Amino acid sequence: MAIHSAPFRELRLDGVRRDFGRLSALKGLSLTIRQGEFIALLGPSGCGKSTALNCLAGLLPITAGSIWLDERRIDVLRPEQRGFGMVFQSYALFPHMTVRRNAGFGLTMRGVPKAEAARRIDEALALVRLGEQAEKLPGQLSGGQQQRVAIARAIVIEPPLILMDEPLSNLDAKLRLEMRTDIRRIHDRLGATTIYVTHDQEEALSLADRIVVMREGDIRQVGTPAELYAQPAHLDVADFMGYRNRLAGRVVETAADRVTIDLGDGALLTGLRCEDLSGTGIIAVRPDDLSPAAAGEPGVDATVRAIEYRGRDFHGLATRPDGLELFFRSDTLLETGSQIRLAADPTRALVFAENRA
């Protein structure tokens, strides 16, 4: 493989701010990325993750702070001087150029000799499995093929950093899975450093070495997928990691790292303490970790409202008399309208302090 990634040690964002008028889209982002990492910027829309990517690419000037590639300050450079490869959500292929000329655009701009350019384009197109389509126009390709051209175009210039802005969001579910594997394969093969923006936690968990969870222009947590999944440091992060039940209550019992919360009417749930608590707390439980309690066990009483078959087990929705909704898992089919008592797995439920947002 001749195409590889330009070497560097680390990319450092130092207090990067970006304001739009009075609105602050990025509130001082600091992050260090090592060569070879696959980083996912994860967050809901409007959290600043795309702004961060555009600032990195140089498409948006930053309001304050600095960006460093090793000892070189790059936030003052124009996008064409940074040499990062970028893959856009809308693909942004040049509609008047063939696949081959699209892929080779960056090489043409760099004045790479024809023979070498041709060799590198062939390699890049082979890597994204588009060798056959080289002479077609983008309009003649499917969405997935177009996005692969965009990837080839970004990697052929051997950038130190590949930036991807929700590259799979315009594709259908099956294609998304395929492309996900392709993107990781290409990353590994090139030894590239990739920053990948997404709002899909599943995508982030499966692709990234490290995930940066963002919210309201700030970093909420940085960690490996396993860390974030098992130990979200914040209620917002838990929200993003699939902790669908978030129930507020009074702290009634604290023993070592376990906390028991009373949701009212003696409905008790126990979980791991994640933050210092003062009287009240919020317990976050994944639907998979909330299931019908064994006889005599404490739990939350509720009425089953809906239950759906998922193959291996059932997923259900139950409500409490005060309207509180609970998403749970069950091994057996329950009848809608029946009363159940649900208990959380105390090693997997997490208790946070009241929302600090």
Partner 1 sequence: MSASARAPGARVGPSKATQRPPLRLRLAARGIDGVTLLVLPALLLIGGLFVYPFAYGLVLSFTPKEGGALANYVRYFSDPFLYDTIWTTLRLAVPVTVLNLLLAIPIAFRVRLMRHQRLLTTILILPITLGTVLVAEGMLFYFGAQGWFNRAIMLLGLSPVPVKLTNNYIGVFLSLLITGFPFTFLLTLSYVTGIDPALEQAAATLGAGPRARFRHVFLPLLAPGLAITFCLSFVQAYSVFPSAVLVGEPSRVTRVISIAAYHAAFEEYDYSMASAIAIIMAVIQLLIVGAILACRQFFYRGPVAGTKG
Q: Which residues bind partner 1 (CB under 8 A)?
A: 57-59, 78-80, 82-86, 88, 90-96, 105-106, 108-110, 137-139, 141-143, 146, 150, 153-154, 157, 163, 170
Write down the least CB distance from residue 307 to partner 1, Å: 38
Smallest separation, CB 203 to partner 1 (Å) = 20
Of 4 and 110, the one with the shorter C-beta distance to partner 1 is 110
Q: Which of 287, 289, 259 has the alpha carbon at shortest distance from 352?
A: 259
Give the shortest CB-193-to-partner 1 separation in angstroms: 15
Residue 153: φ, ψ to 5°? -65, -35
Cα separation, 347 vs 279, whole angstroms: 21
Give the nearer residue to partner 1 in terms of CB position, either 60 or 228: 60
Q: Name which of 147 and 291 has its Cβ closer to partner 1.
A: 147
| b/e map 92-110, b = 16+ CB within 10 Å | ebeeebbbbbbbbbbbeee
- In angstroms, give the least distance from the CB of 33 to partner 1: 18
Tokens 């064994």 -> residue: 294
| Number of residues assigned to the chain | 357
Smallest gap, in angstroms, from Cβ of residue 261 to partner 1?
48
Task: Report the residue number, 32 or 108, with the smaller CB distance to partner 1.
Answer: 108
Residue 261 half-sphere exposure toward CB, CA atoms < 13 A: 28
Kindly list the distances between the CA atom of residue 42 and the CA atoms of 130, 208, 217, in Å, as whole numbers in the listed order: 29, 10, 12
Helices (H), the chain: 49-57, 79-82, 99-109, 114-127, 143-155, 173-190, 201-207, 225-230, 235-240
Residue 172, C-beta contacts closer than 8 angstroms, at least 6 positions apart = none
CB of 93 to partner 1, least distance (A): 5
Please choose, from the candidates 116, 208, 192, the residue with its C-alpha nearest in 3D space to the C-alpha of residue 158: 192
Asked if 53 contacts 29 with a C-beta cutoff of 8 angstroms, the reply is no
Nearer to partner 1, 79 or 287 (CB): 79
Residue closer to partner 1, measured from CB, 146 or 201: 146
Least gap, CB of 145 to partner 1 (angstroms): 9
Query: Residue 84 or 328: which CB sits closer to partner 1?
Result: 84
| Residue closer to partner 1 (CB basis): 59 or 324 | 59
CB of residue 86 to partner 1, shortest distance in Å: 4
For residue 26, CA distances in Å to 14, 54, 310 come to 12, 11, 40
